[in-house]
Chains A and B, each alone.
Chain A
Amino acid sequence: MTAPDGLSRRRLLVKLGVVFNGAVGAILAVPIVRYILSPAIRVRRPVQGSWLSLGSVGQFPEGQTRLATYRSPAANPADGETANIPCWVRRVAGEKFQVFAINCAHLGCPVRWFPQSGLFMCPCHGGAYYSDGSRASGPPERGLFEYSYRVEQGNLLIQPDEMPTPGDPAASLINISIGRPPCV
């Protein structure tokens, strides 16, 4: 039986069926997309109080830069060693510290500290930084990333977050010193 406008009963049912499936698909898509995007839309800044100890202040002699490691607060049991994150701790004097991310500000390779020449050097593309983390030479466009820190009951605490990357706006919010040391 054909309706006056040429739309048969069967065709209408097919169209309704398509619309119905489309609607159910759209409803199902919401949780699926939410699931896929979950790593990106988690709370991006750490909650207050997620301070982590790097050990007692006494482990870091004044005027020296030492490697320290911490277990990422985001770790889960399957992460194994990958959740042990290294960082460079420079004790400037007294309770004044600088805690640098291990990742080069160019492309994230692990920088190494050379106390004799007072430089951080990157093994990948040859970026170099001065002892205060500022850029010395090579491809990086900025100094090393720094963690915010505080000293409490003789312990050095930092507030670790995600792996710092050059495009992360959060990384540029952390106080960094760019520029050369004054000429001697």
Chain B
Amino acid sequence: MLRKGFAFAALGLALMAGPALAATTNEEPADVHWSFEGPFGKFDKEQLQRGYKVYREVCSACHSMNLMYFRNLGQKGGPFYDPKYPNPNNNPVVKSLAHDIQVKDIDSDTGDVISRPATPADKFPAPFANEPAARASNGGALPPDLSVMAKAREGGPAYIYSLLSGFKQAPAGLTLQAGKYYDPYFAGDLTGSWHGVAGKVPEGGAISMPPPLADGKVTFDDGKPSTVKEEAYDVSAFLAWAAEPKMEERKAFGLGAMIYLLIFSVLLYFSYKKIWKNVAH
């Protein structure tokens, strides 16, 4: 670690003559429209519900969401919010969604590790017990936690959408290792795997995740046709919500704050003009 730190500092600080560090490339994420864009944008609840289903039935096989609790699904602004149940722990939909999932617990009488159906107060269980287990099941790669994924990548939900729906057959001249897949939206450097025309290395990278979505992979409860694009779109929106469940509260609060500050500024401006009226300055 120490040596690594020093080595990095030396790299970063010393100016290097000659070739630059190999830079990663990727295609710009697609220009997607979201219901939650802009100062007044809100999440589309139906979309979040579909997105949750995609996460639950597809993504959650490998990806944890350690910051999410089932109760979040029923809180204000969440996919299953119901004004009849201001306390999401009482929301029957959330209860039943949680109940579908088994979580580990300790039997308080015997101390044994048991499995029981989740309650709204439980966290989303992680698919793997620990990092080595996750890597062992995924060809050495670690599926990242998705709780704040929509904020942890440049481009946010548009990046996730593009990545999930953008898998391509590796172009001729690109030889990928077994267990790697070509995605032009995944940041990477394919120079080493490229045998085509020099200088024409394709943009993008080799990702360890096989294309996770397929047409009809998830059956949406609202009857929406489940194309790859639709699944990717909905799960990206769901992840955007999960990364910031308080977004709607933030924007609503912001509107009040802006109106207040604007009125306050106008009042102060005229007070200023009045007070300074007789001072030449």
Q: Please say whether chains A and B are actual partners in one complex.
A: no
Residues of A within 8 A of B (CB): none
Residues of B within 8 A of A (CB): none
